[in-house]
Chain A
Amino acid sequence: MIGLENVSYGYGGSELLSDVSLHLGPGSFHFLTGPSGSGKTTFLKLCYAELIATAGVVRLFDRDAGTMSRDDIARVRRRVGMVHQDCQFLDHLSLRDNIALPLQVAGRDITQEAQNLDDLIAWVGLTGRSKALPAELSGGERQRAALARAVIMAPDVILADEPTGNIDWEMSLRLLRLLTELNKTGKTILIATHDLNLIRTAKNEVPVRVLRIRNRRLQLAGTEL
């Protein structure tokens, strides 16, 4: 699905990631850890072609991201659900409209997807908050809405960048439960986080691989996790 082969990424003369290789297979669940500024977000951005590798090859669904057109990249992003730490909502649209946005962008008729949309909003526990604007939502509600938006297109892969960074532990567990449910349906999950408790909890529910970025390189984390 997503593969990185000897990928390096540098910016402004300094290298942020060096000779990184990884294959995200179908149904896998990966955590990516590392201290702040270690390159976790850069790694995720490479995985959905927001950044293009300066060396090596990033394969998105068997296509080299470095040679894809802008339209092709847009189409590939519809197959990758992304959850950002700051959620990235459009402030003037309601929660429901924000969640439906990927459908609109893909040219799907929202009225025909109404039931799926309502079911999804109910799944993330936000029924009754549909008309709220993003500014009116709590941190946990925003993260769950971001997850709903990430999965509305039934993507093959879900990437999450510090999804629990701004929410309390109880809400983090709730979000994790949603992600593990998705993984059990065959979705590939990659979560960048520095929350080790979250990783330990996840390990009790689904088989996960934990990766760590250290000194610009990617390595398998030890058993201490």
Chain B
Amino acid sequence: MDLHAPNVGFVVAAYGISAVVLIGLAIKTIVFLKTQERQLTGLEERQARRRGSVHER
């Protein structure tokens, strides 16, 4: 790619915006999954603890 060609700034902007949106989308999707996994693990642990305390009584 010739970086001194006319209108190359538009090409850089198009690839830049695509990279920002797609990487941002990937990060958002992965963070959403990790949040759900953490919440589910927390709830399961709390449930297990509650079951354990009922058995002890």
| Same complex origin of A and B | no
